Structure 1
Amino acid sequence: MQASDTVDTRVRRRLRELRTDQGLTLQDVAERASIDVSTLSRLESGKRRLALDHLPRLAAALGVTADDLLGAAPPPDPRIRMRAVERDRLTMWPLTNRGPAGGLHTYKIRVHADRTAPPDPLPVHNGHDWLYVLSGRLRLVLGDDDLTIHPGEAVEFSTLVPHWFGAIDGPVELIAILGPQGERVHLHP
């Protein structure tokens, strides 16, 4: 915190930090706080002054106390403590904290042995995926190609190409680096 920071400046900075650290959009926080999204945007950007009645609603929307919004950010804890996510016969463990919005995130993924049949049609989305196989044999369907990826091999591909990955004869463990679009496809229904 800088000596010249005003309360308004600190709250704006903390509001944005807490929102992005939690992976929330302006719309998410605005709905939770019962505040118009344009008002929240103007509060964060400094184009509107903060009113006292905003503090409790914003704090509750972010799951913190009003003191957390008023004070300086605590030093960051470097440990990653997010829970595993299970979806579509994948278990995904986050290996990176929520960084700046739009950044890349790393996951350890376990592909369950019974994830063997690709969907029709294959998913397509903006971005790139990068996968490194730790154990097992990974089946990667990439456009018209049906590839087997062995332990110690890495693949990188544009996700604008129809794609899917699954297991060949047992579970597969891999490390994946995903952008925000890939996270939405793999983590959120």
Structure 2
Amino acid sequence: MRAELDQIGPRLRAERRSRGLTLEELAASADMSTSTLSRLESGKRQANLELLLPLTRRLDIRIDDLLPAKPTDPRVHRPAVRRDGLTIVPLAPEHSSVMTFKITYPAGGALPELRTHDGYEWLYVLTGRLRLRLGEQDLVLARGEAAEFDTHTPHAMSAAGGRAAQVISIFNEKGAKVHTRTSESE
């Protein structure tokens, strides 16, 4: 709690400065002395409602705006999606600008048809081996190997060998929609 209160002064100073106000201007408009405001901003004076209310009204903010936001739960709770034999587990929040997934390619799966779309893809093989057909290249990536490519290049992926392959795939938003279809069509 004390750490939260210690942030009021610096946050008050930041709000004042963001509005281009001097200490003197804000203090005068809040009907307090410049030294009181200065001590409040530097943490040398304890904040109370009597001091904060006129300042927050003048700055057009809420008192809550001077307190740190409550930490949010950083864990991602999104269900796995199964499509075309793949198991796709979202690893990023739904509206993230970078979409990250753990994709399991089943053993013995045939290489799908090559396709292209807008975007970029980055992938990292966690387990098994991944066949990556990228244009004329036919590559096999082993555990610990990574690849990055422009998705305008025709491409397709499947597990290689007799085991499933688990891959971390990172797409921009356009690539995620094409590969995973988790947002709008599921």
TM over 0.5: yes
Query: What is the count of residue pairs matched by the alignment?
Result: 118
Select the residue among 115, 119, 123 that pairs with 2:115.
123
TM-superposed deviation, 1:115: 2.1
For 1:180, the equivalent position in structure 2 comes to: 173
For 2:82, the equivalent position in structure 1 comes to: 86
Listed as ranges, the gaps of 5+ residues in structure 1 are 7-72
3-state DSSP of counterpart to 1:184:
helix
TM-superposed deviation, 1:87: 1.3
3-state DSSP of counterpart to 1:138:
strand
Deviation string for 1:91-142 (max 9, x for gaps)? 1111111345xx11111111111322322xx110111100100111100000
What TM-score do you get using the length of structure 2 for normalisation? 0.58
3-state DSSP of counterpart to 1:183:
helix
TM-superposed deviation, 1:5: 6.2
3-state DSSP of counterpart to 2:175:
helix
Bigger radius of gyration: 2
Whichever residue aligns with residue 182 of structure 1, its letter is: G
Query: In the alignment, is the contact (CA less than 8 A) between 2:111 and 2:156 conserved in 1?
Result: no
Query: In the alignment, is the contact (CA less than 8 A) between 1:128 and 1:178 conserved in 2?
Result: yes
Select between 160-169 and 110-119 the one with higher mean Cα deviation.
110-119
Q: Please list every run of at least 4 consecutive aligned residues from structure 1 whose deviation after the TM superposition is greater than 6 angstroms.
A: none
Listed as ranges, the gaps of 5+ residues in structure 2 are 1-55, 63-68
Q: 1:104-183 maps to which residues of 2 (within 5 A)?
A: 104-119=98-113, 122-169=114-161, 170-183=163-176
Deviation string for 1:6-30 (max 9, x for gaps)? 9xxxxxxxxxxxxxxxxxxxxxxxx
Whichever residue aligns with residue 106 of structure 1, its letter is: T
Mapped to 1, the partners of 2:99 and 2:147 lie a distance apart of 16
TM-superposed deviation, 1:82: 0.4
Whichever residue aligns with residue 82 of structure 2, its letter is: E
Query: In the alignment, is the contact (CA less than 8 A) between 2:120 and 2:171 conserved in 1?
Result: yes
Q: Work out the percentage of aligned pairs sharing the same amino acid.
A: 42
